[in-house]
Structure 1
Amino acid sequence: MLTSQEHLTHALTDRWFYALVATGLFLNATGLYPPILEPDGALYASIAKTMALNGDFVNLYAVGRDWLDKPHFPFWITAFSYLLLGINTVAYKLPALLFFGLSTVYTYRFARLMYSKIVAQVATIVFLTAFHGILSNSDVRAEPYLTALVIGPVYHFYRVFQNAPRPWLHILLGSFLTGCALMTKGPFVVVPIGAGLVLHWLLTGNWRELLKPRWYVVVILSALFTLPEIITLYLQFDLHPDKVVFGKTDVSGVRFFFWDSQFGRFFNTGPIKGSGDPFFFVHTLLWAFLPWSLPLYISVGSVLLGLARRRNPLPEYVSLGSGLATFLLFSASGFQLPHYMNIVFPFFAILTAQFLVSLSPVNLSRWTIGQTIIGGLLVVLIVAVLLLFQPERLTGALVWVGVVALATALLFRNNKLLSLMGRMTGVMLLLAGVLNLFFYPSLLQYQAGMVAAHYVNTRQDLPPTTAIYGTGTYGESAWSYEFYVDRPVWYARPDSMLRRRVAQEPVLVFTSAAYADSLRNNGFAPRTVATFPYYHVSKLSYPFLNPATRPQTLQPYVLLEVKN
């Protein structure tokens, strides 16, 4: 039990909680402002654009060909958003942000089932301010969707376990969200959804829960809700064994969904391979879960130590089980990316919150000071990057830093829980604002495809048909060009296709300078319309950030007018 002094130290009034949550939602919403980042974001945006324009919600196409990699659910949601809001940056990112907001609600509600109100409040703020969550709301992929589709089923299934009123409703909702999760990432999502529940039942002596028929109903319903994905894959690929996918024919989309897309990547035997490192997520979480990574690691360590000593350190083990099982699964995988761990951030946030709230006033004060130092170092780092990179609105960025830092320092002076949450929210507001409002808008001017598309959209005198030429441009800047240009795009592959098209009408071609030279060598006579500098902006380096050496890191992309 906390003493009256400890209660005062750990207080977080509803007014402050709502203010911090609103700030957290706002700092994530700044991700709507910058353009879509290459390569993956632009690829997914273009796939959904093709779906919306064609009215074809069965087949997925990329680079002008059948595409077999990710399941349909995020593309369906994005395509519907395009139909409602038009094809633009906000329409692509807004649905993901709404799913992130749903994750926030579920994080609070799940934490509130077994913890005090203050733990649920702190967990919600921790979740809203974790760095890679903020990053994923700007560089949108599947993770904002999947996070809600993991914590949501866990909440509903835990309510079923608690024998809540109307259990059938929780079974239905949980199964529906699980089906949507399967249609977002594939079969491996059952690990973050189910592992925590199973571990909780085993550690609390409720192992007989595994034998109850209601969970087999959940499995059946989840499979039924996944049928749209299975059917669309069957229609696009299994019914057409002649299609060439991954360089071969007779490729089963259904098999890919159940095996190659997940187990193939895990064992590194599928068509898409990576290079796994068992310690990748150990060091990745140190920056991805900033500013909360250290309390998270200490929390998990203390819980595991308590379990080893046969104590009961937590009121629930779902968060520990889901978080650790997913961490270990991805660490053992042959294919790893930093954003993979975002889907269990709600569970990490709850583990972090219960640790912080359990601290004595003296230790809480120490942690507040330590976290403030970490926050201060982040501010110094972002200012150093700003001064090095010299974005277009550098003065505005520095003013933003100064105003947010001063307001945070004035509002949160004491080393109590409110000050800890307020200071970290202020630091991440400062960071998100700098990245999304000042840094990225200047950085993304080096996405040659996007800039070229905007240029084409203002030139009515250019040919109405446009093509992307050269396989080496795919994955670089072709996809942002395809998404942002306001005219039909096709991929000129091979040369004979371009030659036939040029014989009928002039073609506007977007390609790299190297491929432009190959066009000339292959007998075409292109006229250069404009040239645009390109850099792979998702892989920053010091030579690029430094204006003095930046020109050496850039490669030219060109718009060409090709006539008969």
Structure 2
Amino acid sequence: MILSKKDSYLLYGFLLLVYVCGLFIPIMENDSAQHATMAMRMYLENDFLHIYKGANDYLDKPHMHFWLSAISFKIFGIHAWSYRLPALIFTFIGAFYSNKLAVHFYGKKINHIAALVFLSVQAVILANHDVRTDAVLTGAIALAIYNFVKYLDSSKLSNLILGFLGLAIGFSSKGQLAVFICGVFLFVHIVYANKWKQVFSWKVLVGLTAYVLFISPVLYAYYVQFDLHPEKVFNGFNNISGIRFILWDQSFNRLTGTGFKNNSPDYFFFFHTILWAFLPWPIIMYAGMFSHLKKAISHRFKKIEGFELMSSLGTLLVLLVISTSKFKLPHYLNSLFSIMAVLVVGYLWTLHKNKKIKLLSRWANFQIGLFVFLSVFVLCLSFWAFTLSSWLIIIGIVVIVTLLIVFLKTVKEAPYRKLIVSSVGLMVLINFTLNTQFYPNLLQYQSGITASKIIKKNKIDPEHLYLRDGIEAWSVSFYAHKNLKRVKVANIPNQLKKGEWVYLEEASFLKTKEAGVVWSKIYPLEHYRITRLKLKFLNPSTRPETLTKRYLVQR
């Protein structure tokens, strides 16, 4: 084994610490808080067939993510951590099956490495506190691809059924994107490994039947919410078929930009986004992709023993296709990361087997140099921007740094081990700092969090609490444990009764004063759109200039 059990367990332990710290960060606006509130409504109303965004029908992401979070609320109660728990479970599923796939292709000597690579990826860690549908999708795709590959090599029906189960969970989380990604990777593997016999088997018909059964709950929910109600109007249209939407429109509209703003004409968007999203492994991943493709071309794509093409060519093909989309966001990459982890491990393992010690040493030194620099940068930024929250954070940082220094001083003639442990360890240091010092302090400038603390402290009844119509403040609803009523600014003088509360931004607050409304209690709240950080905000001396006001007020 390349890594000792001690190495693996220590790195797993520190990664678990990072992920657990992320569970307790306040919910972030906009999407994460919005999804949490939508799942909360499912739980509170015990209605798992309809999805609503505020007062309106929701027709975008399918149900699985919301179902899992609503079930978690039912078991554990409404908390930020219980909302995030299903995402964390599927992240561990993704790590487990990434590892199994790497071991399947490259042998037991690289056991645990793909899991550690996957769990240390920056966007994967981020997706477990800024939780959307992607963590469930990513874990489901890893589950599906491993079991499909296993079926192609063993012809076991159980693997085929599990593969279609993973595919169905992915489909039920984000639509046909899961089918497309799995399809591209598997097509490459089938063609390269010549596995057509297993494709044209009666077992595949059984698997497809199981798949239809697995996705039927989502299809039925869409049918009940939309197909049974042709009178519903959504985006100016009626006679909407929910089933057609999830089977076709949802994915292809994003690809063509239909109904979505063309947010990125940059065809290289995903290729350069990988440079931060797949930290600490992007350069190694690209090197591995180039090396794999060069080897395949030099052998004219003839099968080579102990070599797989799926992770390299499959990743490249998916990137090329999604780069043509008119609507692009960084987290669309997340579903590729489990297979990219296999690519990283395969490339490094090939270097190790071929005794490319000097090249591995250069990679190790490159990783250590780059991520020591990034670690120092993150530490300085976090403690410069925000005052220390707790001395326990300093103790945690000192322990991690000390262990890394001891490791780097003791390891000498093992560049593979040095590269893996130092890369994962430094990402632990970076994200422990972010999850305990940076993000918790940053989120205090998301005024919905501050308002929620005031609501809790003053025991304000959510029945008498309103949000200004159109304001992005899902976190207020979530922490109030209620889908709060909305009120238009013009209606506040007549609609709000004595003793009732409303959360609004400064312009609306001033309009109510101009309209003669007298507020008995006024809580001014500092606010900043924390998903768009600027140096002027991060600098404590200039931060007040960047802040706007929001208000929690009582009539």
Distance 1:339 1:71, change over 3 A: same
Alpha-carbon displacement from aligned partner over 1:248-291 (angstroms, at most 9, x marks no partner) = 43333223222332100101113565334210111111111111
Distance 1:24 1:347 in 2: 20
1:347-386 superposed matches below 5 A = 347-359=339-351, 360-386=356-382
Partner of 1:550: 543
Task: Report the residue type matching 2:477 in the other structure.
Answer: E
Contact 1:200 1:321 in 2 (8 A): no
Deviation at 1:298, TM superposition (A): 0.2
Partner of 2:496: 502
Distance 2:227 2:243 in 1: 7
1:288-303 superposed matches below 5 A = 288-303=277-292
SS, match of residue 537 in structure 1: coil
1:336 to 297, 322, 328: 328
* Identity across matched positions, percent: 31
Distance 2:213 2:461 in 1: 50
Task: Report the residue type matching 2:528 in the other structure.
Answer: Y
Distance 1:52 1:491 in 2: 20
My pick for the range that moved more, 26-35 or 39-48, is: 26-35
Distance 2:247 2:482 in 1: 37
Deviation at 1:91, TM superposition (A): 0.5
1:245-284 superposed matches below 5 A = 245-271=234-260, 273-284=262-273
Distance 1:326 1:522, change over 3 A: farther
Distance 1:396 1:16, change over 3 A: closer
Task: Report the residue type matching 2:226 in the other structure.
Answer: F
Partner of 1:60: 51
2:522 to 520, 529, 532: 529
Deviation at 1:460, TM superposition (A): 3.2
Distance 1:16 1:462, change over 3 A: closer
> Does residue 389 in structure 1 map to residue 385 in structure 2?
yes
Partner of 1:538: 531
SS, match of residue 529 in structure 1: strand
Contact 2:99 2:112 in 1 (8 A): yes
Contact 2:11 2:425 in 1 (8 A): no
**Structure 1: segments with no counterpart, 5+ residues:** 1-9
Partner of 2:476: 481
> Does residue 513 in structure 1 map to residue 506 in structure 2?
yes
Alpha-carbon displacement from aligned partner over 1:471-508 (angstroms, at most 9, x marks no partner) = 1x22xxx1011111245611124845x566435x6421
Contact 2:526 2:548 in 1 (8 A): yes
Contact 2:254 2:327 in 1 (8 A): yes
Distance 1:442 1:22 in 2: 25
Alpha-carbon displacement from aligned partner over 1:301-355 (angstroms, at most 9, x marks no partner) = 1111112212656622332344223322321211111111111111111111111
Contact 1:25 1:128 in 2 (8 A): no
Partner of 1:455: 454
Distance 1:66 1:141 in 2: 18
Deviation at 1:401, TM superposition (A): 3.6
1:138-177 superposed matches below 5 A = 138-163=129-154, 167-177=156-166
Distance 1:462 1:24, change over 3 A: closer
Distance 2:474 2:461 in 1: 20
Contact 2:144 2:167 in 1 (8 A): yes
1:109 to 90, 100, 104: 100
> Does residue 98 in structure 1 map to residue 118 in structure 2?
no
Contact 1:38 1:479 in 2 (8 A): yes
Distance 1:55 1:163 in 2: 43
Distance 1:363 1:394 in 2: 42
Distance 1:445 1:25 in 2: 25
My pick for the range that moved more, 213-222 or 258-267, is: 213-222
Distance 1:460 1:484 in 2: 12
Distance 1:501 1:41, change over 3 A: same
SS, match of residue 266 in structure 1: helix
Distance 2:463 2:512 in 1: 20
Task: Report the residue type matching 1:117 in the other structure.
Answer: K
Partner of 1:439: 438
> Does residue 123 in structure 1 map to residue 117 in structure 2?
no
2:72 to 65, 77, 81: 81
Deviation at 1:550, TM superposition (A): 0.8
Deviation at 1:389, TM superposition (A): 0.6
Distance 1:327 1:362 in 2: 31
Distance 2:482 2:195 in 1: 60
Alpha-carbon displacement from aligned partner over 1:51-109 (angstroms, at most 9, x marks no partner) = 11111111111122211111100100000100111101110111111111111111111
Distance 1:278 1:271 in 2: 17
Alpha-carbon displacement from aligned partner over 1:349-368 (angstroms, at most 9, x marks no partner) = 11111111222222212211
Task: Report the residue type matching 1:424 in the other structure.
Answer: S
**Structure 2: segments with no counterpart, 5+ residues:** none
The aligned length equals 545
Contact 1:260 1:270 in 2 (8 A): no
SS, match of residue 65 in structure 2: helix
Distance 2:341 2:483 in 1: 44
Distance 1:400 1:24, change over 3 A: closer
1:397-408 superposed matches below 5 A = 397=393, 400-408=396-404
> Does residue 310 in structure 1 map to residue 331 in structure 2?
no
Contact 2:502 2:554 in 1 (8 A): yes
Contact 2:102 2:345 in 1 (8 A): no
Distance 1:382 1:145, change over 3 A: same
Distance 1:511 1:22, change over 3 A: same
Task: Report the residue type matching 1:75 in the other structure.
Answer: F
Distance 1:446 1:248 in 2: 38
Using the size of structure 2 for normalisation, the TM-score is 0.92
Task: Report the residue type matching 1:491 in the other structure.
Answer: R
Distance 1:81 1:325 in 2: 36
Distance 2:101 2:184 in 1: 16
SS, match of residue 326 in structure 2: coil
Distance 2:67 2:489 in 1: 31
Task: Report the residue type matching 2:544 in the other structure.
Answer: P
Contact 2:18 2:435 in 1 (8 A): no
SS, match of residue 551 in structure 1: helix
Distance 1:500 1:216, change over 3 A: farther
Distance 2:48 2:298 in 1: 54
